[in-house]
Amino acid sequence: MKHEDFVSAVRDIAVRRLPATAGRERLLGAKLVYGSGSRGTRGTCFHGAWQNGAAHDFLEISAAGEQSAVQLAGTTLHELAHCLAGAEAGHGVAWKRAAACLGLVDAMAAGEEYDAESFAPDVWAEIQTLPDPSDGAPAFDRVVHRGFRFVTRPGACQAGAGSRGGRSRGPRSGSRLRLWVCECRPPVHARVASDTFAALCLTCQSPFERGVAP
């Protein structure tokens, strides 16, 4: 089974728990993909970011944050819950309720270590029938990109792009991008929309640390 087929099968399991309502159709209409993702995240729900006659949510399950098949299943349900709850829910009560409806028990905003007890018994039983993805495995911790060697370290979910202000547009004017610097002289500057950035500079071999914007 390919990774794409695995996350799609998890969605099918979750959707079968819902009645034939607008929420069910919302999940079925969402564009669900398995992609590289952002390093440090397990998944993202981009609200209203896919056009197919109407606006649909775009859900990406991150290869860069992959830890296991069980984690992929949990992350898929986590992001589907954002889709079901809507853009303004964040990780609040409505999102937790949506997660429970989909079979994710006591869902957490970040850092959850998924196991059998993370899922409703009927959902876990069906997940166990799925074969683990057999089309390879991500190796982002070995990848060098633009002089940086990235270390995969999943961080907090951003509660869906397009919710409560959405993504940053740049390093100024209220930007959410953080400045990170290495020990080179002058230092290399990297701006990242995250409070965590696990990367090494391949020139000075130092980890990037939070800097102060000029």
Domain that holds residue 117: 3-137
Q: Is the pLDDT of residue 65 over 90?
A: no
Considering the domain boundaries, does residue 12 fall inside one?
Answer: yes
- Flag whether 97 is in a domain: yes
Domain annotation covers residue 180: no
Side-chain half-sphere CA neighbours of 23 within 13 A? 20
In a domain, 116, yes or no: yes
Which residues, 6+ apart, have CB-to-CB distance to 66 below 8 Å? 42, 72, 137, 138
Establish if 184 belongs to a structural domain: no
Task: Give the bridge partners for 6, in sequence order.
Answer: none
Q: What's the token pair of residue 55?
A: 């606006």
What mean pLDDT is reported for the chain?
83
CA-nearest of 109, 113, 110 to 91 is 109
Q: To which H or E segment does residue 100 belong? A: helix 93-102
* Across 101-121, average pLDDT: 93
Going by their DSSP bridges, the two strands 199-201 and 189-192 should be labelled as unpaired
Distance CA 87, CA 103 (A): 20
**Residue 176 domain-assigned (yes or no):** no
Contact indicator for 123, 99 with CB cutoff of 8 Å:
no
pLDDT in tens, 168-211: 233 333 446 778 888 888 788 888 877 778 787 878 777 888 77
What residue type is assigned to position 80 of the chain? L
The residue among 95 and 189 whose pLDDT is bigger is: 95
Give CA–CA dist 130/153, Å, rounded. 26
What average pLDDT does this structure show over 84-96?
92
Task: Tell whether the model's pLDDT for residue 8 goes beyond 90.
Answer: yes
Higher pLDDT, 31 or 111: 31
Residue 120 lies in a domain: yes
With a cut of 90, say whether residue 6 has pLDDT above it: yes
Encode pLDDT of 129-155 as tens digits.
Answer: 999 999 999 887 665 555 555 555 555
Peptide bond between residue 138 and the one before it cis (omega within 30 degrees of 0):
no
Strand 178-181 and strand 209-210: the pairing is: antiparallel
Answer yes or no: is 54 within a domain. Answer: yes
Percent of the chain at pLDDT above 90?
55
Left if phi > 0, otherwise alpha if psi is -120 to 50, otherwise beta: which for 165? left
Higher local confidence (pLDDT), 126 or 194: 126
Give the three-class secondary structure for 29: helix
User: Could you tell me which residue, 182 or 125, shows the higher pLDDT?
Assistant: 125
Q: Indicate whether 71 pLDDT > 90.
A: yes
- How many domains, the chain? 1
pTM: 0.71
